[in-house]
Amino acid sequence: MTSLGRYAEVRKIPGLTPLLMMGVVARLGSGMTPLALLLLVQAATGRYACASLAVGLYALAGVSISPVIGRLADRLGPSPVLLGTAIAHAMALTGLVITARDDSTLLVICAVAAAVGATYPPLTAVIRGACNRLTAPTTGWERLRGTVLATDTALYEVVFVIGPLLVGACVAIATPAAAIGAAAGVTLIGTTVVARGTAMRAQRPRACRVRTGGLGPLRLPGFTVLLGCVGALGAGFGAVSVAVPAYAAGHSGPGSAALAGLLLAVWGLGSAVGGLWYGAWPPRAPLHRQLAWLLGGVALSLAALAVVPGPTVLGAALVLGGGVIAPCLTVYISLVGRIVPTGMLTEAHTWIAAVPVAANAVGGAAAGILVDRPGGVSWAFVLAGVVVAAAAVSAAWPSGPITRADKEADEMRAAGTDDDAICSAA
């Protein structure tokens, strides 16, 4: 099958194309809300420190609550949970605009910001879960799973390009409150369409011999170690997101903000291109081996940034290094679909989406301490590379939990073992 042929085949999977397209629209809010929230609270309080606190609480609430919402989606089905959270999220965003306009105290604004984060629909988790289900072995489309997930990963990158641009347009034309309103609108409408689509309505709660409870997928050793690798990746990215602006400030002075934005944009562009390339020519190696090699490639690309001589070379290095990122994301998302029972899949994907956010903040904070010191920018890049390299070693461990879980998934599929058996083993 040719590279273009794989993408043509993907379009034939029932219900997938509208899911991916509307998934971009529905998730635009995740690319708009953080910036719009920052600008709204800054305008209301006059202080960026207060605005940063509100954004931090928004992110923390989302990270804390999303696994709980994911478990509800596994138990009740994704459609009702998506619809309920979409309505609650729109109401919370409306409340945020009202509190900002009424000169409410910072405590009230932060509480509402936390409610906005806590009610965000688990869109990425359910879309990735649906992609896994639509390419399950019983569907006949399993050979295209890597291409499907690579397509979604590349499309998701678009959210973080278009989202901030939409916020900028809303603020230029009107106010930050208008940007919040636009975020509420696209999230509510997009999520409703996704929830009512055939791919979501076809999913029903899966019977399992062991009801998901307690730690859920965290009881699975392979998933726990994989989650650690994902967290290391998020920490590395957080360090780079601080080190790049600091590097730009040291090389361009007054124009550093524009240069930093450009450098981070080309990094994302490289990732999107790499994701499309991976979807067209997916390797045949086992996923646990692909993960180890790709994590190693990411680690090398991040550490190499420490020795670049100037912004032009840094930009080229970011483009090349970014090409490994989306394939790495695609592989670990694919592994989740292989090693986690169907009855825990949405919750597992919420963990996979939430942990990098928290780790990103930790990596950024560590890099922030380093870049304030002489020569600290280079050390921040080295830190990012070392953290991801540790994850690569963990993934490459021949008898490690990730390798065992991937091989056991192969054995169970070869033996024709059903998902309930996997559930009971968990």
Residue 304 has pLDDT above 90, yes or no: yes
Question: What long-range pairs does 397-400 form, CB within 8 A, spacing at least 24?
Answer: 400/225
Residue 286 has pLDDT above 60, yes or no: yes
Token pair in block for residue 223 = 């998933």
Q: Judge whether 71 and 218 are in contact, CB under 8 Å.
A: no
Q: Judge whether 166 and 32 are in contact, CB under 8 Å.
A: yes
Q: Of 69, 65, 97, 64, which is closest to residue 84 (Cα–Cα)?
A: 69
What is the mean predicted confidence (pLDDT) over 40-45? 86
- Within a 10 A sphere around the Cβ of 373, how many other Cβ atoms? 10
Q: Of 128, 102, 142, which is closest to residue 9 (Cα–Cα)?
A: 142
Q: To which H or E segment does residue 355 belong?
A: helix 345-371
What is the mean predicted confidence (pLDDT) over 250-262? 70
Q: Is the pTM here over 0.75, yes or no?
A: yes
What is the rounded distance in angstroms from the CA atom of residue 259 to the CA atom of residue 270? 17
Residue 361 CB-density burial (10 A; 0-12 exposed, 13-18 middle, 19+ buried): middle
Structure confidence at residue 255 as a pLDDT band (50, 70, 90): low
What is the mean predicted confidence (pLDDT) over 139-163? 84
Q: Which residue has the higher pLDDT, 103 or 213?
A: 103
**Which residues, other chains included, contact 377 with Cβ-Cβ below 8 Å and sequence gap of 6+?**
243, 246, 247, 250, 370, 371
Structure confidence at residue 138 as a pLDDT band (50, 70, 90): confident
Q: Judge whether 415 and 319 are in contact, CB under 8 Å.
A: no
What is the mean predicted confidence (pLDDT) over 71-82? 89
Predicted confidence at residue 295, as pLDDT, reads 96
Residue 419 has pLDDT above 70, yes or no: no
**Which residues, other chains included, contact 240 with Cβ-Cβ below 8 Å and sequence gap of 6+?**
267, 302, 305, 367, 380, 381, 384
Q: What is the pLDDT of residues 15-34, one digit of tens each?
A: 899 999 999 999 999 888 88
Tell me what the pLDDT averaged over the chain comes to. 85
What is the rounded distance in angstroms from the CA atom of residue 68 to the CA atom of residue 64? 8
Lowest-pLDDT range of 215-224, 311-320, 391-400, 411-420: 411-420
Structure confidence at residue 421 as a pLDDT band (50, 70, 90): very low
Lowest-pLDDT range of 39-53, 303-317, 318-332, 406-420: 406-420
What is the mean predicted confidence (pLDDT) over 110-135? 91
Structure confidence at residue 426 as a pLDDT band (50, 70, 90): very low
Distance set, CA 155 to CA 8, 134, 218, 304, 320 (Å):
16, 18, 28, 27, 19
Q: In the block, which residue shows the tokens 């307690």?
A: 214
Residue 179 has pLDDT above 60, yes or no: yes
Residue 349 has pLDDT above 50, yes or no: yes
Predicted confidence at residue 358, as pLDDT, reads 82
What is the rounded distance in angstroms from the CA atom of residue 329 to the CA atom of residue 158? 15
Q: What is the pLDDT of residues 155-173, one digit of tens each?
A: 887 787 788 878 888 888 8
What is the mean predicted confidence (pLDDT) over 6-11? 83
Residue 424 has pLDDT above 50, yes or no: no
Q: Which residue has the higher pLDDT, 289 or 238?
A: 289
- Within a 10 A sphere around the Cβ of 366, how many other Cβ atoms? 18
What is the mean predicted confidence (pLDDT) over 255-267? 74
Token pair in block for residue 297 = 């490639």
Structure confidence at residue 411 as a pLDDT band (50, 70, 90): confident
Predicted confidence at residue 415, as pLDDT, reads 66
Q: In the block, which residue shows the tokens 């953290």?
A: 387
Q: In which region does residue 120 sit, left (phi positive, over 0), alpha (psi from -120 to 50) or beta (all else)?
A: beta
Structure confidence at residue 210 as a pLDDT band (50, 70, 90): very low
Q: Judge whether 225 and 394 are in contact, CB under 8 Å.
A: yes
Helix (H), strand (E) counts: the chain: 18, 0
Residue 235 has pLDDT above 50, yes or no: yes
Provide, rounded to the nearest whole percent, the portion of the chain with pLDDT above 90.
36
